[in-house]
Structure formats: C-alpha cells, structure tokens
Amino acid sequence: MRIPAETARRLTRDALDIAHQAGDRIVEVYAADDCDVDYKDDKTPVTTADLAAHAIIVDELRALSPRFPVLSEESDAISFEERHQWPAFWLVDPLDGTREFLRRNGEFTVNIALVVDNRPVVGVIVAPILDVAYFATQGNGAFKQIGTLPPQPISVRPAPTPITVARSRNPRTGPCMQQFLDGIGDYDEIPMGSALKSCLVAEGAADIYARLGPTGEWDTAAAQCIVEEAGGHIRDIHSQDLTYNMRESLINPHFLVYGDDRVDWMQHVPLDALRA
C-alpha cells in the first residue's frame, strides 16, 4: 500500500496534535494525584490516565482517517485473523511508561505510529510533563520540538569513546543485560523511562539502547520511525529490522537501538544465554 508523501506528512502533523491532546489529559490526572490503578494478566499496571488517553486517541484517529484501523495497547484483543488483513493501521501506546507515571518522574510518553505493510512510516512521541515531542515521517527526517519552539532536525551521532548507554531506571540488571554491558567495556549511561531511551539515540545523546526482555509492538513502532529517519536502527538480535503485525503475538523480540552502524553492537549480545 502506498501513501503519498504529502498525505503522510499531514498525518504526522495531525497525529502530533492528537498526542498532545492525550498528553494534556494525562497531565490533568497526574496533577490531581488521584489515579486508580489496576493490573493486567501480565502484572503490568493500567491507570485511569492510560484509559483516558486511549479514548481520546482512538476517537480522534478514527475521525481523522476512518479507513485506518486503530490497534492500541488498551485494545490488543483484536484477533490476528482480523488484523493481519490490514495493509495499514495506527499502532498506539496511550501511556508508555505507566510505572514512570506512578513514580511521578515525568518520563512517560504518548506513542502513535502509522504502520504500512508492516513497517512504521509515521512516528510521534510526546512527553507531556517534559514538554518535548519527537516525530518523523518516512523519507522526511526526524525532529525534536521543545514546548512551542520551532522543531529542530535530529540525527544519530558517530559513536565516541566512551559510548553512552541509554538504560531503564529499573535498578535490577539481569544476567543477559549485564553480559552485554560487560562486553561493551567502559561506558557512560543515561537512565531514562519509556520510549525516551530510543529518542536519546535518535537525537545523538546516547549511542545504544539494548532491550533484552519483552516489550509490546506499540512500545517501539513510533520510536522506530523516528530512529530510522534520524539515521539509526532498531533491530532484533539477528540484525533484522523490527516488523509489525506479522505474528499472532504482539510481543517484540529482543532488540537493539543504535546509531553508528560501523560498530558491531551485535557481537556483545549473549545469544546462548538468551536462547536458554
């Protein structure tokens, strides 16, 4: 399926507006500090803010482009039989980083991607508390916008010495991740929540982010468009670009986000341990 370039750019602008609307609603819940919390079957939290943002995004995207279905983390029960027939669809995480929301550190985002033929062609990430947005359209570059300032183009950087690793704020490091970090050698690190870790790579503030654990496709699609348009990659541990809606499961494989492809990042991945 082909989407004209001007249409894709328009959809990016519209998706950015919708993400800001959802972010404003999340901020209202955040400021009130009165948020109900429930837990899904996989023990991940879902809050009043997640559901409120989900409702806004789904309603607005359906009004914006009725021909494109919407797949959200909060509506992931759509059968594979139905969704695998979609040539294009919106893939949404209404509140990426719910744990960061609950910790009240501001490092959570609204993620909206348009996926066409199993690849993200539009990506929008808004961090409402930090007042920053990242967005990209396939073939049109990646941008960062702080507040109401004009958007600025962003790009990955050549890997310096030492490199900088974007990492989760989770203080526990599993053995596979520790093995990966030990293989890198000396490095600086930036702890960060949600899809913002990938955005750090896209803007050249970090060089590598490794995710050697489960994530949903809604966690990465918008970030992948942004990272790729900034000159970087989000690839599984077999060096294949991530793809979307190709399997019954919506769980991503392990993956790396990196900028400088002259570095053999994959050599540090403990494949044997991950297969065990």
Are 242 and 119 spatial neighbours (Cβ–Cβ below 8 Å)?
no
Average pLDDT value for the chain: 94
**How far apart are alpha carbons 228 and 245 in whole angstroms?**
19
Kindly tell me if the per-residue pLDDT of 173 is higher than 90: no
Span 135-158, average pLDDT: 98
> Which of 41-55, 65-79, 211-225 ranks highest by mean pLDDT?
211-225
Task: Give the model's confidence band at 44: pLDDT under 50 very low, under 70 low, under 90 confident, else very high.
Answer: confident
**How far apart are alpha carbons 272 and 276 in whole angstroms?**
6
**How far apart are alpha carbons 195 and 245 in whole angstroms?**
19
Kindly tell me if the per-residue pLDDT of 276 is higher than 60: no
Torsion sign, CA atoms 123, 69, 212, 168: positive
Kindly tell me if the per-residue pLDDT of 274 is higher than 90: no
Q: Give percent of the chain above pLDDT 90.
A: 87
- Tens of pLDDT along 183-193? 999 999 999 99
Per-domain residue ranges for the chain?
5-154, 163-275
Torsion sign, CA atoms 248, 252, 254, 255: positive
pLDDT for 273? 72
- Tens of pLDDT along 189-247? 999 999 999 999 999 999 999 999 999 999 999 999 999 999 999 999 999 999 999 99
The yes/no answer on whether domain 5-154 falls in CATH 3.30.540.10 is yes
Exposure b/e, 139-164, CB count within 10 A at least 16 = b: ebbbbbbeeeeeeeebebbebeeebb
**How far apart are alpha carbons 213 and 10 in whole angstroms?**
35
Domain at 163-275: CATH code: 3.40.190.80
Q: What backbone torsions phi and psi does residue 103 show, to the nearest 5 degrees? A: -80, -10
Alpha-carbon dihedral of residues 195, 58, 68, 96, nearest 10 degrees? 10
Span 111-117, average pLDDT: 98
Span 149-159, average pLDDT: 98
**How far apart are alpha carbons 104 and 7 in whole angstroms?**
37
